[in-house]
Structure 1
Amino acid sequence: MAGVPVLNPSNLEEQVAAIMLSWHSLELIALKKVQSLWAGYGHVCEVTARAKTASAARLMRERYGDISQVGTNGKETYALILKLISPPSGAGDEGHLRKIMSYEVEQNFYGSIALRLGTDLPMARSISATQGKPGSDTPEGLAAILMTDLRSEYPVAGEKRAMLNETQVYAALQWLSEFHKRSQGMQLRLPSQKLLLPPLEEAERRRRGEVPGSLVWLNGGYTYLATRRTEYATLAADLSSEWSPALCESLGSSGHSVAEMVAAALTPRGRDHESLIHGDVKSENLFTTQSGTEVAFYDFQYVGFGLGVCDLAKLFTCSVPLHMLTDDDGSVELPMGEGERRLLERYRTNLLDGRGETYDWDTFMRHWETALVDWLRFQASWGFWGNTGWLEARVRSILKDESWRTWLNAQQSLIDQETGSLSPN
């Protein structure tokens, strides 16, 4: 193996990569930081490695397929990704806890869940993961995931807050429908105590010494109401926003607001059509082939259970070109347009294909409309971006639809009966 110099680790990223590679008889050739994690919580690094022995190379092929590359010197190397989490000290506030736990979830997803979905569903494969600095008895707040690099097969990166092209949109719908289809019913097959609660509740559970959640979020995503009460309170107090009374005021004698009823209707509880959701679907969290006909999603920090339409609500608002949704970009209220319907029909057809199951259109539409209202609640309380004019116009139309309001009230009544609750959420 002479002729390819081995890197002598000189910084934390290189040290962590070298140790994690050594667990698989691999050695570090090169490392390059390519991205900082949100709010300074670490880095994503490109790693070039090689096998120390022929048996190590054989194991890599058996586990991960033909991911080796042959350099100009004729030597085989592996292109990998290191995601190193080295967070700033936190005071235990909800945002900090959410981020720390989200990286636990990502590790657990790759290590325990991803393979259950089939190796033919495009996503990165975990090679190693660790909590704490490798080789140390002291955690030091560090965590790391070493995984395969998707870019050899999916070289086109989605851009931050950018719209996909039409081919990429349909490919994203295909991937999401497969992801949702393959994970339907999984919640019922996993120990409930292994699912993470909202961050503050999960932290309290851990303080009590109970078995902590160690797989994925019980409720997928990072915007659901149970973990955004502060933003919701700010919206409720903002009398200058049209969405404050529309979403936050109590309805009649029920004591529930529209936002609370919507959140309750979307909360996973083991119903038909619930599945894993990615939880952060947007253009910058996927790679595509050169043609755009296939995509692979990544960043599974907020993967958990829910209705698949919750992933679509963010995708449609933030990454689908407006012309694919509607020909009307100026109306204050909008019913569903033909473009929006075509995309939803494509997704639903893919979701049901080969399953021998039903998801009647009326129920699907109620779930979809409810997901749009919930997504708008978050944007209205946190900040708008994407196809916001379309989103607001759609939600105004949905809120005025008496049949939707009747359905929502019926859902809330059912939930109150199941939980024995007569008080607001």
Structure 2
Amino acid sequence: MSKVCDDKTLTYIQTRFAEPQASKVQSIQTLWSGYGEIARYYLPSSKQSVIAKLVRPPANIEHPRGWNGQQSHARKLDSYVNESRFYQHFSQRLDRFCRTPLCYFSSTEETVVAKGEDHAVKDIQQDNIVSLLLMEDLDQAGFAKRYDEGSLESVRLGIRWLAYFHAKFLNQALHMLWPIGTYWHLATRPDEFAQMPEGELKQKATQLDSALNNARFQTLLHGDAKLANFCFSDDGSDLAAVDFQYVGRGAGIKDVMYFMGSCLDDAELTELADDLLDEYFVILKRAVERYHKGTFVSLGFAALEYEWRDLVPFAWADFQRFLAGWAPEHYKLNGYMQKQTAIALAKIW
């Protein structure tokens, strides 16, 4: 693995935390298509570790599925800037019910220019670096478990996290972040759309997209709420979320659909999806009451629930539209998704 988080990153961490003996102790992972690295640094004086997420695109981009076009590259770079904005301006609003890592520092080219950041940051940014995030180490904070496969309890915890996250930002101004959250919405995927086979789903893709984007009730979507982006407590009773590249506005049900699809197979979705949706709306109502209190009546929760439940099959169909062009052999293209898509298509004339 290449040493993406290099000496300049270490120098900046040593300066930022006044820890001259700070050191890089682990390369945790390389970002998708080699766009950078997530690494752990240790600060001996405070006996604390921090996580650095450094985004520096490679000279030669190699996408695992061959999507190496300029539009894909630009979208990826913008997603990392989007994530930095989330940590800078929105993550501090969250609480223990929708836990994220604390952000110690968030740098993008725009923030350096706007705030006149110190020379150490400018030096980093001159080295083809798009963004640098310094965050709390969730492992050290007690969220060290990761799951490749979810138990029902872990899935329910994810549903709870999403409900509180969606309630927190319900119908609020979300300037600076993407106007449409998720990585698969139609406007950003013309190449994949062109690869779709002809048929009813392709013909009605614009109507599906419009129904979701024009929902009356909008919130902030995580945008990539899969099991791999949650860190669980040691006893498995709590969790925190990471990876906010695709955060943006949308109907909350898009996150719920995607999360269930990342955790459950065809048979499990058939058995559990309805109950999990019911649980999501019960918790969402409780969270709306918690965060919005006096405005709860004006938000019209019954109307919200009616609208988002009606959009459930549209969310499934919209994601199937993406997969059909991006990876038509993908395992998530299962019978449950196809049944939901058929329901959505039947509603569009």
Q: Say whether the fold is shared (TM-score over 0.5).
A: yes
Q: 1:116 to 1:399 in 2, by over 3 A?
A: closer
Whether the 8 Å contact between 1:47 and 1:82 is mirrored in structure 2 is yes
The one-character-per-residue Cα deviations of 1:195-228 (angstroms, maximum 9, x if unpaired) are: xxxxxxxxxxxxxxxxxxxx31110011000001
Of 87, 94, 106, the residue aligned with 1:117 is 94
Aligned-pair CA distance for 1:369: 1.2
Deviates more, 1:22-31 or 1:365-374: 22-31
Give the number of the structure whose residues are more often helix, by fraction: 2
Q: Which amino acid aligns with 2:209?
A: A
Whether the 8 Å contact between 1:157 and 1:284 is mirrored in structure 2 is yes
Of 221, 246, 259, the residue aligned with 2:205 is 259
| Matched-pair identity in % | 24
Q: Which amino acid aligns with 2:39?
A: C
**C-alpha distance in 1 between matches for 2:268 and 2:310:** 21
Aligned-pair CA distance for 1:340: 1.6
Map 1:212-361 onto structure 2 (within 5 A): 215-235=176-196, 238=197, 244-249=198-203, 258-267=204-213, 271-272=216-217, 274-327=218-271, 339-353=272-286, 354-355=288-289, 356=296, 357-360=300-303, 361=305
Q: Which amino acid aligns with 2:143?
A: Y
Query: Tell me, which stretches of 5 or more residues in structure 1 are unaligned?
Result: 1-9, 52-75, 192-214, 239-243, 250-257, 328-338, 410-425
**C-alpha distance in 2 between matches for 1:347 and 1:392:** 19
Corresponding residue for residue 62 of structure 1? none
Of 122, 137, 162, the residue aligned with 1:176 is 162
Whether the 8 Å contact between 1:218 and 1:268 is mirrored in structure 2 is no
The reply to whether residue 140 of structure 1 matches residue 127 of structure 2 is yes
**C-alpha distance in 2 between matches for 1:343 and 1:186:** 26
Whether the 8 Å contact between 1:124 and 1:298 is mirrored in structure 2 is yes
Aligned-pair CA distance for 1:389: 1.9
Aligned-pair CA distance for 1:140: 2.9
The one-character-per-residue Cα deviations of 1:11-70 (angstroms, maximum 9, x if unpaired) are: 85243133134123234134321211111111111111144xxxxxxxxxxxxxxxxxxx
Corresponding residue for residue 143 of structure 2? 154
**C-alpha distance in 2 between matches for 1:293 and 1:46:** 25
Corresponding residue for residue 379 of structure 1? 323
Structure 1 runs (4+) deviating above 6 angstroms are: none
Corresponding residue for residue 32 of structure 1? 26
What is the TM-score normalised by the length of structure 1?
Answer: 0.68
**1:326 alignment partner, SS class:** helix
**C-alpha distance in 2 between matches for 1:267 and 1:221:** 11
Query: Tell me, which stretches of 5 or more residues in structure 2 are unaligned?
Result: 62-67, 110-119, 290-295
Q: Point out the structure with max Rg over C-alpha.
A: 1
**C-alpha distance in 1 between matches for 2:26 and 2:281:** 41
Q: 1:386 to 1:316 in 2, by over 3 A?
A: farther
Corresponding residue for residue 395 of structure 1? 340
Whether the 8 Å contact between 2:99 and 2:240 is mirrored in structure 1 is yes
**1:173 alignment partner, SS class:** helix
**C-alpha distance in 1 between matches for 2:127 and 2:226:** 32
**C-alpha distance in 1 between matches for 2:124 and 2:58:** 20
Q: Which amino acid aligns with 2:340?
A: V
Of 48, 67, 91, the residue aligned with 2:42 is 48
Aligned-pair CA distance for 1:323: 4.2
Whether the 8 Å contact between 1:317 and 1:391 is mirrored in structure 2 is no
The one-character-per-residue Cα deviations of 1:87-140 (angstroms, maximum 9, x if unpaired) are: 124798111111111111111111111112336531111111223672528623
**C-alpha distance in 1 between matches for 2:186 and 2:248:** 15
Q: Which amino acid aligns with 1:140?
A: D
Aligned residues: CA RMSD: 2.5
**C-alpha distance in 2 between matches for 1:183 and 1:396:** 28
The reply to whether residue 22 of structure 1 matches residue 10 of structure 2 is no
Of 60, 63, 83, the residue aligned with 1:106 is 83
